[in-house]
A and B are shown apart, each in its own frame.
Chain A
Amino acid sequence: MGVNGAVFYFIICGGETVERFIDPCCSECTHTQETPCSQFVDCCVNGPLCHESEECKQKRKAIMDRVALDSKFVIH
């Protein structure tokens, strides 16, 4: 990730960078291979679903914004 990206992540996530959907947004998210969550896939794009958090939502959005080619790219 470039310098700009890192700064961006710092601003929205308060220092914790979430690079991939599998990385937990906060301690509320418990999805792993061993402790799976049935809502995981939907949660990647539309989450968080199990708790309310604007910050966690923004972390997901940041992952998507980084690679979305246009407004139709992400299918919600």
Chain B
Amino acid sequence: MFEKHLMVCGATGCLASGSKDVTEVLEKELSDRGIRDKFRIVMAGCPGFCEVGPIIVVYPDEVFYCRLDPENIAEIVEQHFVNGEIVEKHLFKPPKSKEVKRFYDEIPFYSKQVFNVLRNSGRVNPESIDEYIMRGGYRALTRALDMKSEDIVEEVKTAGLRGRGGAGFPSGLKWKFTLQAPGTKKYIVCNADEGDPGAFMDRSILEGDPHAIIEGMLIAGLAIGSDEGYVYCRAEYPLAIQRLKMAIEQAEEYGLLGENILGSGYNYKLNIKEGAGAFVCGEETALLASIEGKRGVPRPRPPFPAQKGLWDYPTCINNVETFANVPLILRLGAEEYAKVGTENSKGTKVFALAGKVNNTGLVEVPMGITIKEIVYDVGGGIQKDRAFKAVQIGGPSGGCLPEDKLDLPVDYDSLTQAGAIMGSGGMIAMDEFTCMVDLARYFLSFTQNESCGKCTPCREGTKRMLEILERITEGEGKLEDLDTLRDLASSIKDSSLCGLGQTAPNPVLTTLRYFEHEYREHIEEKYCRSGICKELFEYAIDPESCNGCRACTKVCAVDAISGEKKEPHKIDVELCTKCGSCVDRCRQDAIKIIRVGSEADVQG
């Protein structure tokens, strides 16, 4: 028996932040002391709190060590694993709090999270089918094997499951269409393209709990009468692909995949297709073309994939997270599953929480939670206690919501009404130092760049919009530009061939809707209040707040700041490159963003 289980975050994110080195030292420390056998070290899935990685969670002690460095390991081994005393300084400590938090249940980041999809991430060895089975895995498949296709579809409908890949289409309905479509062969496809910048929800699920996807797809196959499926995964996810391959082999060996599954007569073959990771290849018709070996460009719908999909056969395509919900629905039953969430949005949603919040990482929250709860309770509020300005939800197809939408419940319909979308799970919190015009420019340049070029509105329209936004951020904007942007946006939305173009204007439209004053400031006053658009602001030091600590002078790469110690400093605007490092450094918040040429107002 093992004395302790050491769950190390072995997901791509934590591996990058050093969890591999930590594990190597851990192995060595334990071996050197001759106690290696007493410990089980598992490279587990992501426990989500990437901000504080690398993480080791110790069981049965229930201790959450974070921000680890290889140098910390000897102490933990000696003090905790040998002498039985928890090393407090490596526990989690919320900002400005003196109290350390020992385990998940005390850490505020986890307090409002509900783990449905991430139920096994960080708790099981993702390379072990046995552990998946212990956690209730493949029980849903066993149940589904005894059910009629129609009843499985009905159960998913009753559960209220909606697609987690973007549009939120009711999954049960999609399954019903595919079941009813005539065809001698049918396919299930799992969309693991995950093209949104900064997104890693699907990667984490695949890396942390690959069997959940296999089981979800097997159940979908039973529901629509399919015997073959594809997981389309971007090639930049080698660990996800490796874990999935291993899981497929194990499932086949266990008789849970392949011919005559569990003696039922149900056959299922699961293939992996590696994609180049273009954003547009995440669009379902482009994705199917790519699996067929053609160029990954979208085609008009209808016909929808449910009627005419892969090689013209009826095809049910769902997102990774959508499939990960399915085993839970079939195991718990639709009613139990639907207890979490709102009237029209059931279950949970996984978000990659990023931006200016204190706690960034992967979070799973119940539908209906408010934006405020995500930003302030889960996210721990805005860094440095700065003011919240907006949250961007839904990535390049999504929108920006302002402070007065903080109480908005996160569900499909509320978000759409407010101009954003649930999307696949990107959520970026922004503070007063984010320029909303520049943000719109950033997202539009992403979609513009990723446009496949097949249809004119998307190819040319987004280019024109981008030119205008660039002009505005450079101080060359005109007031008429705002109407032009709105007109272009609506025609691109209406006439683009696929969802890429149809949603590309969203970041522009929502920032125009909620932050028109910032656009106007850029145009009329040539002023960027956030200090982002370089032509449209200057820095100046407020003599009242500056205590002359000289910290800023040391970080300024061009020596633009002068002044005696303990005397207010001054910035030479001619030399200043507006890199912003002095702002980050100043503890007094004495460095202000001012209008170009208005220096005299501040510096007297």
Q: How far apart are A8's CB and chain B's nearest CB, in angstroms?
A: 6
Q: Mark A29-47, 1 if CB is under 8 A from B, else 0.
A: 0011100111011101100
Residue B97, interface by CB 8 Å: no
Contacts A36-B262, A37-B262 given; does A74 touch B138 at CB 8 Å: no
Instruction: Determine how close the nearest CB of chain B comes to the CB of A53; give it in whole angstroms.
Output: 20
The reply to whether the CB of B125 lies closer than 8 angstroms to some CB of chain A is: yes
Give the A-B contact count at a CB cut-off of 8 A: 89
Does B135 lie within 8 Å of A33, measured CB to CB?
A: no
What's the nearest-Cβ distance from chain A to residue B222, in Å?
Answer: 14
Whether B255 contacts A68 by the Cβ 8 Å rule is no
A21 and B130 in contact, given A33-B255, A36-B255 (Cβ under 8 angstroms):
yes
**Separation in Å of the A17 CB from the closest CB of chain B?**
14
A21 touches B133 (CB 8 A): yes
Complex: A20 Cα to B5 Cα, angstroms: 18
**Across-interface contacts of A22 in B (CB, < 8 A):** 253-254
Given A38-B145, A44-B130, A67:B136 Cβ within 8 A: no
For B263, give the chain A residue with the smallest CB separation: A36
> Among the listed A3, A33, A45, which residue makes an inter-chain contact with B134, where contact means beta carbons less than 8 Å apart?
A45
Query: Which B residues from 240 to 291 make CB contacts under 8 A with A?
Result: 252-256, 258-264
**Quick one: given A8-B1, A41-B142, A66-B1, are A36 and B133 in contact (CB under 8 Å)?**
no
In the complex, A4 has a CB within 8 A of chain B: yes
Contact check: which of A21, A31, A66 meets B2 at CB < 8 Å?
A66
For residue B123, which residues in chain A have a CB less than 8 angstroms away from its CB? 69, 73
Given the complex, which residues of A lie within 8 Å of B1, measured CB to CB?
4-5, 8, 65-66
- Cβ of A20: which chain B residues have Cβ within 8 Å of it? 130
B263 adjacent to A37 (CB under 8 Å): yes
- How far is it, in angstroms, between the C-alpha of A20 and the C-alpha of B138 when the chains are bound? 16
Nearest to A5 among chain B residues (CB) is B1
Chain B residues near A73: list those with CB within 8 A. 123, 134-135
Q: Is B336 at the interface (CB under 8 A from chain A)?
A: no
Is A13 interfacial (CB-CB < 8 Å)? no
Known contacts A2-B38, A8-B1, A69-B123; A40 and B254 CB within 8 A of each other: yes
Contacts of A40 in B (CB 8 A): 254-255, 262
Interface range, B side: 35 or more
| A1-22 to B contact mask, C-beta < 8 Å, 1/0 | 0111100100000000000111
Looking at the complex, which one of A33, A42, A44 makes contact with B258 (CB distance below 8 Å)? A33
Asked if B254 and A33 sit within 8 Å, CB to CB, the answer is: yes
Check if A42 sits within 8 Å of B135, measured CB to CB.
no
Q: How far is the CB of A70 from chain B (nearest CB, A)?
A: 6
Please judge, given known A-B contacts A2-B37, A22-B254, A33-B253, whether A74 and B263 are in contact too, CB under 8 Å.
Answer: no
**Partner pick for B141 among A8, A41, A75, CB 8 A cutoff:** A41
Say whether B604 faces chain A, with CB atoms less than 8 Å apart. Answer: no
Bound form: Cα–Cα A41–B256 in Å: 9
The interface residues of chain B lying within 8 Å CB-to-CB of A31 are: 255
Q: Check B260 against A69 for contact (C-beta < 8 Å).
A: no
**How far apart are the CA atoms of A5 and B37 in the complex, in Å?**
9
Q: Are A70 and B262 in contact (CB under 8 A)?
A: no
Q: Which residue of B lies closest to A69 (CB)?
A: B59
Report Cα–Cα, A5/B137, bound state, in Å.
25
B residues less than 8 Å from A38 (CB atoms): 142, 145, 262-264
Q: Is B139 among interface residues, defined by CB-CB distance under 8 A?
A: yes
B60 part of interface (Cβ distance < 8 Å): yes
Q: Is the CB of A68 within 8 A of B261?
A: no
CA distance A67 to B120 in the complex (A): 13
Structural contact, B134 and A64, CB atoms closer than 8 A: yes
Q: Which residues of B contact A36 (CB under 8 A)?
A: 255, 260-263
9 smallest A-B Cβ distances: which pairs? A2-B37, A75-B136, A69-B59, A36-B263, A36-B255, A33-B255, A41-B138, A74-B134, A38-B263
With A33-B254, A36-B263, A41-B137 given, can you name 4 additional A-B contacts, CB distance below 8 Å? A3-B37, A33-B255, A41-B138, A75-B136
16 A/B residue pairs, CB under 8 Å, sorted by A: A2-B37, A2-B38, A21-B129, A21-B130, A21-B254, A22-B254, A32-B255, A33-B255, A40-B255, A40-B262, A41-B138, A66-B40, A67-B134, A69-B123, A70-B59, A70-B60
- A→B interface (CB under 8 Å): 2-5, 8, 20-22, 31-33, 36-38, 40-42, 44-45, 63-70, 73-75
